[in-house]
């Protein structure tokens, strides 16, 4: 038996680098910066005051005016970008509001680009589900299936409408096969070669999109499993990302983020373009709900969430906390 008084203790002590805040800051492997954050924003047609989204406390459906103010603030805070979602007053089977140059999303793009110019990257969701009465991301055929190729034609026209309105980057999120190449060709045909594409590449059929349905007033008929990915599959996510890079995606995205951090890492290691991750509505709602109940400490939980997504390999994060996080990081 060794005499306890003779113990010298370990020579190697990882705790040494944790001694002071300055030291911990110096050796931190990962950081989160405002420029890496993108704020998703909702704009609704025909309202004259913002409408709160009950399942996403602190997030609202904006009027065209309050949207401009939110984007100006995002620019002021040095955010990387904003991602716009439109909620039309009326929806129909083909989502025609998405193609209308005066439709809510295209009008809002023109508003905010007029307001902030190039000070912040203005992105728009390129998908039909906010505009269709059945809530699917594309048109539905006589058999009730979402018709891939018929939908592609609408995506091409939607991309051209968004580019005409002045968007900097389009975000195709409908998971139709071939959507990136069709959108790239449509943009180039209209001489919008500078409009870039953030492809929602590995997008999973997730239960965590729940609050988003309220945010865009969507009542989905059925589910999205014939086009969004099975949560069981990671390799398939890498394959989708590689296909999108081949088709001309400028950035690729994994969505949701938290339940798919392994996919974020695998995609980061597989591609040579920036990788984004979408910290989605249900992930936001979980933290907000737990914090509202006093079960977790809200601000550190937000920063830890964003740090974990960066550590997994995301270069860019879409998060409803973008503006608040920029403020927290600045103090």
CA atoms within 13 A of residue 117's CA, in its CB half-sphere:
3
Question: Which C-beta is closer to ligand PBG: that of 155 or that of 209?
Answer: 209
Site for ligand PBG contains 240 (CB under 6 A): no
Q: Per-residue contact track with ligand PBG, 47 to 86, x per CB under 6 A?
A: ----------------------------------------
Which member of 134, 184, 192, 203 is catalytic?
203
CA atoms within 13 A of residue 247's CA, in its CB half-sphere:
26
Which parts of 137-166 interact with ligand PBG (CB under 6 A)?
137
Site for ligand PBG contains 105 (CB under 6 A): no
Decide if 255 is catalytic. Answer: yes
Q: Where are the beta strands (DSSP E) in the chain?
A: 37-44, 51-52, 60-62, 81-87, 121-126, 169-172, 196-203, 251-255, 275-279, 316-319
Using alpha carbons only, what angle is made at residue 200 by residues 195 and 205, rounded to the nearest 5 degrees? 155
Site for ligand PBG contains 127 (CB under 6 A): yes
Decide if 68 is catalytic. Answer: no
Site for ligand PBG contains 125 (CB under 6 A): yes
Site for ligand PBG contains 319 (CB under 6 A): no
DSSP SS3 for 321: coil
Compute the least distance from the CB of residue 284 to ligand PBG, in Å.
Answer: 7
Q: Which two tokens stand for residue 9?
A: 């203790």
Compute the least distance from the CB of residue 97 to ligand PBG, in Å.
Answer: 13
Kind and range of the H or E element at 299?
A: helix 298-312
Give, to the nearest 10 degrees, the angle between helix 64-76 and helix 104-116.
40
Site for ligand PBG contains 209 (CB under 6 A): yes
Binding site for ligand PBG (CB under 6 A): 125, 127, 129-130, 137, 173, 209, 212, 224, 280-281
């Amino acid at each position: 038996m060794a005499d306890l008084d003779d113990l010298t203790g370990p020579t190697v002590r990882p705790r040494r680098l944790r001694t002071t805040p300055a030291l911990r800051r110096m050796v931190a492997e990962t950081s989160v910066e405002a420029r890496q954050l993108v704020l998703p924003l909702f704009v609704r047609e025909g309202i004259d005051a913002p409408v709160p989204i009950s399942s996403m406390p602190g997030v609202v459906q904006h009027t065209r005016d309050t949207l401009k103010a939110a984007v100006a603030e995002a620019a002021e805070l040095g955010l990387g970008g904003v991602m716009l979602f439109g909620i039309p007053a009326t929806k129909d089977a083909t989502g025609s509001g998405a193609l209308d140059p005066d439709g809510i999303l295209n009008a809002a793009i023109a508003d905010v680009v007029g307001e902030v110019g190039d000070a912040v990257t203005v992105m728009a969701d390129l998908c039909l589900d906010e505009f269709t009465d059945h809530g699917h991301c594309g048109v539905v055929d006589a058999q009730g299936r979402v018709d891939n190729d018929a939908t592609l034609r609408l995506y091409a026209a939607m991309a051209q409408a968004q580019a005409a309105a002045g968007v900097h980057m389009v975000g195709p999120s409908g998971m139709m096969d071939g959507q990136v190449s069709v959108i790239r060709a449509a943009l180039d045909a209209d001489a919008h070669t500078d409009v870039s594409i953030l492809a929602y590449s590995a997008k999973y059929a997730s239960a965590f999109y729940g609050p988003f349905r309220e945010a865009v007033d969507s009542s989905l008929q059925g589910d999205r499993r014939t086009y969004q990915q099975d949560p069981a599959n990671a390799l398939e996510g890498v394959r989708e990302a590689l296909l999108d890079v081949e088709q001309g995606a400028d950035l690729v995205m994994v969505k949701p983020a938290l339940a798919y951090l392994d996919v974020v890492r695998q995609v980061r290691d597989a591609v040579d373009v920036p990788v984004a991750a979408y910290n989605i509505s249900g992930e936001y709602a979980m933290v907000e709900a737990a914090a509202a109940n006093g079960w977790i400490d809200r601000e550190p939980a937000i920063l830890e969430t964003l740090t974990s997504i960066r550590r997994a390999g995301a270069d860019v994060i879409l998060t409803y906390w973008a503006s608040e996080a920029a403020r927290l990081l600045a103090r």
